[in-house]
A and B are shown apart, each in its own frame.
Chain A
């Protein structure tokens, strides 16, 4: 058992953050990762601008894209200096945020109930399993029929797939709990609400966060698709709009932005998960994982 000095056994948020940053900086994975990105960037440059292949001729190369992206006076209106750029980002981030809140707010309780009650699961599981394979895009017409503004259908579509995943993972999380924990809780004199709060919920939490991690990705995926179909703002809308107005640099800027924002949102989920599950983070840290 490695000995951790008392001052380290209950580290503050800040010191934990520094610990992780320091560990990441001194980690070869980081540099190998950066090298990989550099290689990819170089190939991208080579095939589009350096020595353009016939198939990639029409694609904007990295130099053109980055010049536009960081230009104070962009040719097509979208760069890190334009207000519009942030308005689109915000529109999409907000929708994903709302979608995830709804998916989690409805999905976690439903999943807990399904994992908890065998009877309830028998009722609801088949319905879920029949709805789940329907691709999100198949819902577009009904979504537009149901909600006759432009904002709600987009959020609805971004919520849907995340919702299924949250429900399923939460249910699996409850089912994965070692039955001896439940027996122990009963011996210790827990009432049902204690059992729920102190055993079921924390026991399912690792699975819930695994689900959330996947949900974030799926939610962005559905959102961009939905924004292309309906919507007047947002990154998906902007991609399609740039295509019709032949501003290809903007398309690539938005694609890269989506990559960055998507990465940031799953990093945020991971971070929150680590904070809520210190018990797991610390046990894993001891195993050097």
Chain B
């Protein structure tokens, strides 16, 4: 437990026995099978699983983008969805950062970031812009805040999207492989930046990835998912103190943690490979 986390009272996410079957009457693709996760308020919770196992499916159920087939999801003890109302309400208490990025290309970074508080009428347009500027400054984006997403690198865009989520003070930040397809060097910079943003704006983070070292470097806990239909195989607490920076990567404890996770993941990766799941690195 670090200081940032202890301040936090809100954002405990409880996923209980959730299953999801796509197209139950037709081809019936079972994506999630009796998935259960307990995520404490303020935790960085990494969900690690092979390609196509059902990670995005789980995130979409939490965000309320589609209904679950059975099970329930609670946020701070309040039911988001259950068997009676299988689809959660979409709400700004759970902010999503999408796998392929979803900044509005027709708005500048500043307008993208200030959009949420303005439409929710939480802040006046002027206040929203001031707050957006402050957050963009924290994230090192203030110099490009007047640019459009199409003009900046994907790393910058991803940072801005996280800022756009954080400005709404969500209880949970849902990140769907935000750093996929980035080179290792950029990733390392993005990771440190994310941890810094987290220190400044503590929030529960539900982070999907299939990058093992990313999971160990960032997370308080790593949940390892099986191949499709996904269920939780094992939850491994990561015993490395925060604040973490790039030096952690070359330390012995880090190496041991990675090995521990690798051993658990390996058998799943082999199963996925044997099942011929398409590799989407």
Residues of A at the B interface (CB closer than 8 Å) are 1, 4, 6, 9-10, 178, 180-181, 183-191, 194, 198-199, 202-203, 205, 277-280, 282-283, 286
Question: Which residue of chain A has its CB nearest to the CB of B63?
Answer: A187
Chain A residues, CB < 8 A from B152 = 1
Place the interface of chain B in its size category: 20 to 34
User: Any chain A CB within 8 A of the CB of B52?
Assistant: no
Encode contact with A along B152-183: 1 for CB under 8 Å, 0 otherwise. Answer: 11001000000011001000000000000000
Residue B2 lies at the interface, judged by CB distance under 8 Å to chain A: no
Given contacts A188-B115, A202-B106, list 20 more A-B pairs with CB under 8 A: A1-B152, A1-B153, A4-B151, A9-B146, A178-B102, A180-B102, A184-B96, A184-B98, A188-B116, A188-B119, A189-B92, A189-B120, A189-B168, A190-B119, A194-B119, A205-B106, A277-B106, A279-B148, A279-B149, A286-B151
In the assembled complex, the Cα of A187 lies from the Cα of B92 at a distance in Å of 5
**A184 engages B102 (CB within 8 Å):** yes
With contacts A180-B98, A183-B96, A286-B150 taken as known, whether A188 is within 8 angstroms of B106 at the C-beta atoms is no
Assembled-state Cα–Cα distance A278/B96 (Å): 27
Closest 6 CB pairs of A and B: A283-B150, A189-B120, A279-B148, A188-B116, A202-B106, A180-B102
Query: Which A residues lie within 8 Å of B115 (CB)?
Result: 188, 198
- One of A198, A203, A283 near B151 (C-beta < 8 A): A283
User: What are 12 inter-chain pairs, A to B, with CB distance below 8 A?
Assistant: A180-B98, A180-B102, A181-B104, A183-B102, A184-B98, A184-B102, A187-B63, A189-B92, A191-B119, A194-B119, A279-B108, A279-B150
When the two chains form their complex, are residues A280 and B105 in contact, meaning their CB atoms are under 8 A apart?
yes
Within the complex, the shortest CB–CB distance from B126 to chain A, in Å, comes to 18
Chain B residues in 8 Å Cβ range of A1:
151-153, 156
Q: Which of B96, B148, B168 contacts A282 (CB 8 A)?
A: B148
* Chain A residues with CB under 8 A of B156: 1
Query: Which of A9, A185, A188 has the most chain B CB atoms inside 10 A of its CB?
Result: A188
- Residues of A with C-beta under 8 A to B148: 278-279, 282-283
Task: For residue B157, give the distance in angstroms from its CB to the closest CB of chain A.
Answer: 11
Which of A178, A184, A185, A203 has most B Cβ within 10 Å?
A184
Q: Is chain A's binding surface mostly helix, strand, loop or mixed? A: helix
Against A, the Cβ 8 Å flags (1 = close, 0 = not) of B93-113 are 011101010101111100000
Within 8 A of A (CB), among B129-155: 143, 146-153
Within 8 Å by CB of B168, from A6, A183, A188, A203, lies A188
Report the minimal beta-carbon distance from B27 to chain A, rounded to whole angstroms.
Answer: 21
Q: Hey, which chain A residues are within 8 Å of B119, CB to CB?
A: 188-191, 194, 198
Of the residues B96, B146, B150, contact of A187 by C-beta under 8 Å: B96
- B65 x A183 contact (CB < 8 A): yes
- In the complex, are the beta carbons of B102 and A282 less than 8 A apart? no
Closest to B115 in A: A188
- State whether A181 and B102 are in contact (beta carbons under 8 Å apart), knowing that A187-B92, A187-B95, A188-B115 are contacts in the complex: yes
Residue B6 is within 8 A (CB to CB) of chain A in the complex: no
A189 to B115, CA, bound (A): 9
Give the distance in Å from the alpha carbon of A205 to the alpha carbon of B95 in the complex. 27
A202 to B108, CA, bound (A): 13
* In the bound complex, CA of A278 to CA of B102 (Å): 18
Residues from chain B with a CB closer than 8 A to the CB of A205 are 106
| A9 and B106 form a contact (CB under 8 A) | no
Q: By the criterion CB–CB under 8 Å, are B104 and A199 in contact? A: yes
A203-B102 Cα distance, complex, nearest whole Å: 12
Per the bound structure, the CA–CA distance linking A205 and B105 in Å amounts to 12
Q: Chain B residues near A283 (CB, 8 Å)?
A: 105, 148, 150-151
Q: What residues on A are CB-neighbors of B9 within 8 Å?
A: none
